[in-house]
Amino acid sequence: MGHCPAPAGRPRFDIADIVRQHRAELESEHRLSASEKRVLTAIERCRTSVLGGHLEVCRSCGHEQPAYNSCRNRHCPKCQCLAQERWIAARSERLLPVRHFHVVFTVPSEMRALCRKVPRAIFDALFRCAGETLLELGQSRLDATLGVTMVLHTWTRDLRFHPHVHAIVTAGGMDGRGAWHPTKNYLFPVEVMGELLRGKMLDELRRLHRASLLNPTRELEDPEGFERLMARLAKSRWVVYAKPPFRRVEHVLAYLGRYTHRVAISNGRLVEVTQCTVTFRTKDGKTHTVTPVDFLRRFIQHVLPDGFKKIRHYGLYASSARADLERARAELERLGAPAPTSPAPRPTWQQLLRELTGRDVERCARCGGAIERIAIERQTARGPPAQQAT
């Protein structure tokens, strides 16, 4: 564990405060979808008395402290750490004991407007085509089925809209006879992966267009607009990036865990928040400053459609391939890979929180005495509470 450590102290600034103070202005300037409104509401209510919670009372010294419930929204910057750790624990039981490559498939800039207009259709197509690209190359070049886990991200470090899929791919695969075919320091040429992805996506876009599943953007309102878009996409370079393989499964889990439950920006990246500006860290020690409304506008453009699965598995890692996965595991064990150990009991959220933050929520922070919890009823009013947990 320990893949999502808490900072030394609570972040100075909270995105929820920006939402509370500037949401009305945002909605007056930009039309929000129902999903975007629900996300903003969840964030501003998270860990407040609106959602209820409990009062922590120390049996020894009598110290009292309220602790409010989390919203558990997948876009909330405060609700992903425990979910990430639970996901890693569950996934560790399925990951094969081999090296894994990290591959990134990026959507060309010409497609971003279409992604905004019909995100579910385009993102589904991107997952499907990227997965097929890897599996087909695995069959044609290794005569084997790979194991692939993919996660969708839609942002850059400065919160611009930049859809791309991260894929963790086994360094080898299993053939139809149950034999394992390894690959060492090289997966497939990135140019070949990019060209194959482009061809598949263009075919998929034509299918969606014929089925009238592409709501027209301003560009596509012109009857010939779709063909012009397709011509530009056919000439575009579809960028695929591949990193060297991870040597240990533990490194794969730690790395993958950072991607699966990451949101567009965390509270810890906020450097300064005023009534007029929001400054946040980007990369390489740099910062970016925008107005609060522009910050929220950039943030909500990364809200995914309701029910959309942003983590998907293909090949040996697909849920339908459990038997093949176990055959591959047995073959790798025969070849010298370590045998799987019996899975440890799943830790409770209290144990996870203690491991991640060092805080024991079952003991008083003042005297170390046992904590008793008394339920706090949810507020029915929508407005944010006057008092919040510390």
Q: Where are the domains of the chain?
A: 1-93+275-301+349-390, 95-264+309-334
Q: What was the pLDDT predicted at 272?
A: 97
- A 10 A CB-CB count for 272 gives 12
Nearest to 297 by CA among 264, 273, 324: 264
Q: What was the pLDDT predicted at 2?
A: 40
- Indicate the pLDDT class of residue 7, thresholds 50, 70 and 90: very low
Percentages helix, strand, coil for the chain, rounded to the nearest 5? Answer: 40, 20, 40
**267 touches 77 (CB < 8 A):** yes
Q: What is the pTM of this model?
A: 0.85
- Indicate the pLDDT class of residue 3, thresholds 50, 70 and 90: very low
Length of the chain in residues, anyone?
390
- Indicate the pLDDT class of residue 308, thresholds 50, 70 and 90: very high
Q: How many distinct helices (H) and strands (E) make up the chain?
A: 11, 13
CA distance 159 to 263: 10
Q: Tell me the residue type at 386.
A: A
Which conformational region is residue 209 in: left (phi greater than 0), alpha (psi within -120 to 50 degrees), or beta?
A: alpha
- Indicate the pLDDT class of residue 212, thresholds 50, 70 and 90: confident
Q: DSSP for 279-320?
A: EEE-STT-EEEE-HHHHHHHHHTTPPPTT---EEEEETTSGG
**147 touches 316 (CB < 8 A):** yes
**247 touches 257 (CB < 8 A):** no
- Indicate the pLDDT class of residue 5, thresholds 50, 70 and 90: very low
- A 10 A CB-CB count for 47 gives 20
Ranked by mean pLDDT, which of 38-52, 242-256, 358-372 comes out on top?
38-52
Nearest to 75 by CA among 20, 154, 4, 165: 154
- Indicate the pLDDT class of residue 303, thresholds 50, 70 and 90: very high
- Indicate the pLDDT class of residue 357, thresholds 50, 70 and 90: low
**66 touches 385 (CB < 8 A):** no
Q: What was the pLDDT predicted at 386?
A: 46
**The residue to which tokens 């991200």 are assigned:** 153
Q: Tell me the residue type at 313.
A: H
**144 touches 175 (CB < 8 A):** yes
Average pLDDT value over all residues in the chain? 86
Q: What is the mean pLDDT of residues 251-269?
A: 79
**103 touches 240 (CB < 8 A):** yes
**Is the model's pLDDT at 334 over the cut of 60?**
yes
Sheet bearing 240-246, strands edge to edge: 240-246, 100-106, 161-170, 147-155, 311-315
Phi (first) and psi of residue 248, to 5 degrees: -125, 145
Which of the residue ranges 41-45, 303-307, 322-326, 356-360 would you say has the lowest mean pLDDT? 356-360
Interval 27-46: pLDDT, tens: 999 999 999 999 999 999 99
Q: What was the pLDDT predicted at 389?
A: 42
Q: What was the pLDDT predicted at 215?
A: 66
Q: What was the pLDDT predicted at 219?
A: 64
Interval 43-94: pLDDT, tens: 999 989 898 888 888 888 888 888 888 898 999 988 877 666 677 767 777 8
- A 10 A CB-CB count for 333 gives 13
